[in-house]
Amino acid sequence: MRHRISPSSSIRIGDKALALWDDVLITQTAPADVNASILYIGKAGEADLNQIDVKGKAVALHVVPDGINLNVSLPEWRYSRYVMNKYGNDLIERGAVAILFIADEYGEHSWPYVQANNILGTFDIEGGARAAAPKAAPPIMWLHPDAGEWIKTEGLELHASLRVESFTYPSVNIIGKIPGTDPILSKEYVVLSGHTDAHGIRNVINNDSIYYGADDNASVNVAMFATAKALKKSPGKRSALLIIHGAEEKGLLGSRYFTAHPTIPLASIVTILNGDMIGRNNPDSAAILGSQVPHQTSATLTKMAYDANAEGPQFKLDTLWDKPEHIEGWFFRSDHLPYARLGIPSLMYTTLLHPDYHTPQDSPENIDYKS
Ligand SMILES: [Zn+2]
């Protein structure tokens, strides 16, 4: 289920009509009808917001990155959310009917990333929190830095009419099965998992707009084809189910769908081995997520994975990224998660992040094919 801001929406400040996405960014997908006077309160962090009555006002303020940790992956994509958490939510709670964030330098840098994400809107599967058409909410908008000059004009009003379009949008899970050889154990399944999707065509970074997804996650899909070939030649005692999930990047939608509509009894899945990005970084190193408490779902499975590594490739195994205090929360960001939440023994294999993550430079020539 997909919802997005309709191009028929309009935003006007004073007598100035703003072009959606170019002059003004909308960072949430929700309908709104707002006619309110604008209250300009200057720089976030400088004004004491608690002293200002924002009720019924469209509040305009300059964002500042102070106190926001941008030392994470995809900081540009996340900046608008961080700013909202830092200043925005409180203003809305105190009765502001709209927020106009005036971009700082980093906000300008983030603009094309946030634009690309928010034009697409939100995605979910039936039953998910974002499946139903969104309810009206105070609009959260971003303006370019020059707005800092003209928005101070006395008596300015915001007129925002935001419409949301809702429709279904296709995705698929691609599933293959290789029966096991043991008459009893073949009723059990080892699930091997990857995801089909990347980020399509988006904002240009370094002269390219195609987000190839070579590491994320063609690297794993190719490994799954190789595994399927090997298993076909020499099947295991248990059956193997190979699932290349759809719409992972949209919120683990394929894996959430499969666990809600499994093609085999969930109780017959003894483990899921999920891979996400295995083609880059140091060829002697890797990480196995879900191998440490509290993410661990099975000590037996963890031991099997460690033993297999010791017998085989002897990767140096990273231990930091599986820790709950790690800032990236990597364990929660791939398709094993819905299975792990059901208590199915789950592991995620990865060679971790790199600077080309979710950019057009995650391209085939940057994959380390040999190792
Ligand atoms: Zn991925």
pLDDT digits (tens, 9 = 90+) for 250-267: 999 999 999 999 999 999
Q: How many CB atoms lie within 10 A of CB 304?
A: 14
> Could you give the residue ranges of the DSSP H alpha helices within 265-366?
299-311, 337-341
The rounded Å distance from CA 243 to ligand 1 centre is 14
Higher-pLDDT residue of 48 and 233 is 233
Residue 131 Cα to ligand 1 midpoint, Å, equals 22
Please list, in sequence order, all residues whose beta carbon lies within 8 angstroms of the beta carbon of residue 247, skipping any fewer than 6 positions away: 123, 171, 195, 197, 253, 254
Sign of CA dihedral 150, 83, 78, 256: negative
pLDDT over 80 at 50, yes or no: no
Contact 367, 215 (CB under 8 A): yes
CATH architecture assignment, domain 2-167: 3-Layer(bba) Sandwich (3.50)
The answer, yes or no, to whether residue 44 has pLDDT greater than 90, is: no
Instruction: Over range 151-159, report the average pLDDT.
Output: 95
Alpha carbon of 40 to ligand 1 centroid (Å): 41
How far is ligand 1, taken at its centre, from the CA of residue 106, in Å? 26
Query: What is the reported pLDDT for 285?
Result: 94
From ligand 1's centre to the CA of 200, what distance in Å? 13
Gap from CA of 278 to ligand 1 centroid (Å): 10
Residue 280 alpha carbon to ligand 1 centre in Å: 13
CA 98 to ligand 1 centroid distance, Å: 35
Residue 169 has pLDDT above 80, yes or no: yes
CA of 358 to the centre of ligand 1 (A): 9
CA-to-CA distance for 20 and 102, rounded, in angstroms? 15
CA distance 247 to 259: 14
Question: Which residues in the chain are classed under CATH 3.40.630.10?
Answer: 174-366
- Distance from the alpha carbon of residue 216 to the mean position of ligand 1, in angstroms: 5
Expressed in angstroms and rounded, the spacing between residue 257 Cα and the centre of ligand 1 is: 17
Instruction: Categorize the per-residue pLDDT at 48 as very low, low, confident or very high, splitting at 50, 70 and 90.
Output: confident
> 26 C-alpha vs ligand 1 centroid, how far in Å?
26
Which secondary structure element, helix H or strand E, spans residue 233, and what is its range? Answer: helix 219-233
Q: Please tell me the distance between residue 11's alpha carbon and the centre of ligand 1 in angstroms.
A: 36
How many A from CA of 121 to the centre of ligand 1?
19
Tell me the CA–centroid distance for residue 159 and ligand 1, in Å.
40
18, 61, 58, 38: which is closest to 153 by C-alpha?
38
CA of 93 to the centre of ligand 1 (A): 35
Ligand 1 centroid to residue 147 C-alpha, Å? 37
Q: What pLDDT is recorded for position 45?
A: 78
Report phi then psi at 43, rounded to 5: -85, 130
- Render pLDDT for 322-363 as a digit per residue (tens, 0 to 9): 999 999 999 999 999 999 999 999 999 999 999 999 999 999
**Which residue reads 């691609």 in tokens?**
174
CA dist., res. 329 & res. 321, Å (int) = 8
- Å from CA of 335 to ligand 1 middle: 8
Count other C-beta atoms under 10 Å from residue 71's C-beta.
7
Q: How close is the Cα of 202 to the center of ligand 1, in Å?
A: 17
pLDDT recorded at residue 51 = 83
Instruction: Please name the CATH architecture into which domain 174-366 falls.
Output: 3-Layer(aba) Sandwich (3.40)
Ligand 1 centroid–CA 195 distance in Å is: 7
Q: Which residues make up the CATH 3.50.30.30 domain(s) of the chain? A: 2-167
Q: How many whole angstroms from 334 Cα to the centroid of ligand 1?
A: 6
Beta-carbon contacts of 269 under 8 Å, excluding residues fewer than 6 positions away, are: 188, 189, 190, 191, 241, 262, 339, 344
